[in-house]
A and B are shown apart, each in its own frame.
Chain A
Amino acid sequence: MALKIVKWVGIDFGQCLMSPSSLRNPRMFGDIGKLLGKHEMIPVWIERMRRLKEKYKTYSLVKEKHREEILTFVFDHDREAYELFGQKEPELLSMAPGLREFLIWINAEGIRPSVVSELKKTLGPVGTDMITKFLIAKGIIGSFQYFITPHGKMDLATGEQFENYRGTSKESGTLYDEILKELRTQGIQPQECVMIGDKRITDIIPAKRRGLITIQYTGHIDEGPCDESDYVAESFFKVKEILERL
Chain B
Amino acid sequence: MGEGRYVLIGWKDGWHEVSRVEPDAIGLSRYYVIERVERVGRLVIERSEGEYPGLLLFDRDPMEIEWMAMVEGGDERKLGEASTYREGTRIEYHYAFERGEKSFLDTLRKKIEEALDRKGTSAKAVLSMAEEERAKTIEGIARDIPLVASKKQGDLVAFLEGILEKMG
B42 at interface (Cβ–Cβ under 8 A)? yes
Flag if A52 contacts B88 (CB, 8 Å).
no
Kindly state the separation between the CA atoms of A192 and B54 in the bound complex, as whole angstroms.
Answer: 50
| A14 CB to nearest B CB, Å | 11
Kindly state the separation between the CA atoms of A61 and B91 in the bound complex, as whole angstroms.
Answer: 18
Which of the residues A15, A31, A51, A219 comes within 8 Å of B53, measured between beta carbons?
A51
Point out which of A31, A52, A73, A220 has the most chain B C-beta atoms below 10 A from its C-beta: A220
Flag if B54 contacts A221 (CB, 8 Å).
no
Q: Closest residue of chain B to A58, judged by CB?
A: B87
Kindly state the separation between the CA atoms of A245 and B54 in the bound complex, as whole angstroms.
Answer: 51
Which of the residues A21, A34, A50, A51 comes within 8 Å of B90, measured between beta carbons?
A21
Flag if B53 contacts A55 (CB, 8 Å).
yes
Kindly state the separation between the CA atoms of A19 and B90 in the bound complex, as whole angstroms.
Answer: 12
Flag if B55 contacts A21 (CB, 8 Å).
no
Q: Closest residue of chain B to A24, judged by CB?
A: B90
Kindly state the separation between the CA atoms of A21 and B91 in the bound complex, as whole angstroms.
Answer: 11
Identify whether the interface residues of A are mostly helix, strand, loop, or mixed: helix
Flag if B52 contacts A51 (CB, 8 Å).
yes
Chain B residues, CB < 8 A from A34: 17
A178 at interface (Cβ–Cβ under 8 A)? no
Which of the residues B15, B17, B54, B87 comes within 8 Å of A220, measured between beta carbons?
B87
| A119 CB to nearest B CB, Å | 20
Chain B residues, CB < 8 A from A31: 15
Inter-chain contact count A-B, CB under 8 Å? 34
A64 at interface (Cβ–Cβ under 8 A)? no
Which of the residues B17, B42, B86 comes within 8 Å of A221, measured between beta carbons?
B86
Flag if A55 contacts B52 (CB, 8 Å).
yes
Point out which of B17, B52, B54 has the most chain A C-beta atoms below 10 A from its C-beta: B52
Within 8 A of B (CB), among A138-165: none
B34 at interface (Cβ–Cβ under 8 A)? no
B contact residues, range: 10 to 19
Chain A residues, CB < 8 A from B15: 31
Identify whether the interface residues of B are mostly helix, strand, loop, or mixed: strand
Kindly state the separation between the CA atoms of A50 and B52 in the bound complex, as whole angstroms.
Answer: 10
Within 8 A of B (CB), among A10-55: 15, 19-21, 31, 34, 47-48, 50-52, 54-55
| A60 CB to nearest B CB, Å | 10
Flag if B86 contacts A21 (CB, 8 Å).
no
Given that A34-B17, A50-B42, A54-B44 are contacting pairs, would A21 and B89 also be in contact in the complex, using a CB cutoff of 8 Å? yes
Flag if A54 contacts B88 (CB, 8 Å).
no
Kindly state the separation between the CA atoms of A219 and B54 in the bound complex, as whole angstroms.
Answer: 31
Within 8 A of A (CB), among B1-35: 15, 17
Kindly state the separation between the CA atoms of A54 and B88 in the bound complex, as whole angstroms.
Answer: 19
Flag if A54 contacts B53 (CB, 8 Å).
yes
Which of the residues A50, A55, A219 comes within 8 Å of B88, measured between beta carbons?
A219
Flag if A221 contacts B52 (CB, 8 Å).
no
Kindly state the separation between the CA atoms of A148 and B44 in the bound complex, as whole angstroms.
Answer: 37
Kindly state the separation between the CA atoms of A221 and B88 in the bound complex, as whole angstroms.
Answer: 6
| A83 CB to nearest B CB, Å | 18
Chain A residues, CB < 8 A from B87: 15, 20-21, 220-221
Kindly state the separation between the CA atoms of A34 and B17 in the bound complex, as whole angstroms.
Answer: 9
Kindly state the separation between the CA atoms of A20 and B87 in the bound complex, as whole angstroms.
Answer: 9
| A18 CB to nearest B CB, Å | 11
Flag if B88 contacts A222 (CB, 8 Å).
no
Chain A residues, CB < 8 A from B53: 51, 54-55
Flag if B52 contacts A47 (CB, 8 Å).
no
Across the A-B interface, the 9 shortest Cβ-Cβ residue pairs:
A21-B88, A54-B53, A220-B88, A51-B52, A54-B44, A51-B55, A55-B52, A221-B87, A50-B55
12 more contacts with CB within 8 A, not counting A34-B17, A54-B55, are A20-B87, A21-B89, A48-B52, A52-B52, A54-B52, A54-B53, A55-B52, A55-B53, A219-B88, A220-B87, A221-B86, A221-B88
